[in-house]
Amino acid sequence: MEPGEPTEKGVIRSVTHIGTNRKHMTKDARPYIGRFAPTPSGPLHLGSLSTALASWLFARKVKGEWFLRIDDLDTLRCRNSHITRILKQLEGHGLWWNGAPYCQSRRVDLYHDMLSWLKTEGLVYSCVCTRITSRREGAIGQDGPIYSGRCRKGFPSISPERVAYRLRAPSGRIFLDDRHFGYLERDIGRDIGDFIVRRTDGVIGYYLASAIDEHDMGITEVVRGADLLLSSLRHQLILAALQLPPTSYRHVPIILNGIGAKLSKQNGAPPAHENNASANLTRILRLFAQRPPPDLARATPKIVLEWAIQHWKPDRIPKSLEIPLTPNRKISAHLLSNSSAVQ
């Protein structure tokens, strides 16, 4: 993979075209290639399994391919035992993938090559701010703190090994035409700001690695949880900086637990056990409003998935950002509030 032609130093070219435009969205002649990219910091729970199932169904419905990528760059959080467990859970639920899994930890040379190119082009700069400084000085945007730009002018005396790198985000607006939630538009400076592409400890940032991978793996549509909706804008900025075409996204609602929080390892969501595979799959299908027949939960996972492929109706998936696991909870849409651009 090679980035594009050299640009005017320090300026991401064609900022007005950053994002997934409608022309790009409507016809994609390539065969469908989807992916699931878990972080192996724990086993899959019903929430992560739901995005796995959704992305698998989008791929299998059109006889496309579905790749597995293990996002294991953060060695402090990731464990090989979790990788083994996740693979077993996917197999047990019948969610087979194509080819060998990709592992981000084995792809770091590629990310560093891309980062070097960004450095050469002046599109990233070194940052010595701590998380605390960044938080104290930055405004809080819809998707977390906005960096103040304190280090934009550089710290030449600091060893390059001990600094973080931030993408020099241009001013202007950025667009995303999400295939589920529709058109989304944000002010880059106000809502996103310069963000980390390499951490102080040398670990490549999630946004950079994932943006490169979606392109390099040939992914035609990224299906993932709606909590990452605004993160997709950062991926698009990185791709624009690397002069690579935008990725297409389809975000699906995330699942909330009984107290209205996203199901997560941190808040103790139980692992989705493969012994309950058919029950888990049909439960997720119900949450996605696919209306599986009541006795389907007693069939084998293979039968459940065959039914799901045949009856997969993306239009029925709720347009809300969140789906409560237990009914009658208030559904919020805080990420999309204050945005007149969402249709």
Query: Which residues contribute to the site for Zn ion (CB under 5 A)?
Result: 127, 129, 150-151
Please give the span between the terminal C-alpha atoms of the chain, in angstroms, as a whole number.
35
| CA dihedral sign, ordered 98, 103, 108, 114 | positive
CB of 174 to Zn ion, least distance (A): 22
Give helix then strand counts, H and E, for the chain.
Answer: 9, 14
Closer to Zn ion by CB, 127 or 297: give it: 127
> 132 or 140, CB closer to Zn ion?
132
Among residues 129 and 304, whose Cβ is nearest to Zn ion?
129
CB of 325 within 8 A of CB of 287?
yes
Q: Are strands 182-187 and 173-178 parallel, antiparallel or unpaired?
A: antiparallel
Instruction: Give the tokens for residue 335.
Output: 């990420």
Residue among 4 and 10 whose Cβ is closer to Zn ion = 10
Q: How far is the CB of 127 from Zn ion (least distance, A)?
A: 3
DSSP secondary structure code for residue 307 in this structure: H
Provide, rounded to whole angstroms, the least separation between the CB of residue 156 and Zn ion: 14
Non-local (6+) Cβ contacts of 14 within 8 A are: 240
Shortest Å, Cβ 199 to Zn ion: 12
Task: Please say whether the dihedral angle defined by the alpha carbons of residues 186, 188, 194 and 198, taken in this order, is positive or negative.
Answer: positive
Rounded to a whole number of angstroms, the minimum distance from the CB of residue 166 to Zn ion is 7
Query: Which residue, 151 or 308, is less far from Zn ion as judged by CB?
Result: 151
Q: In terms of CB distance, is 128 or 341 closer to Zn ion?
A: 128
**How far apart are CB 275 and Zn ion at their closest, in Å?**
49
- Within 10 A of 191 (CB to CB), how many other CB atoms are there? 20
The beta-strand segments (E) located in 210-326 are 222-225, 249-252, 254-256, 322-324
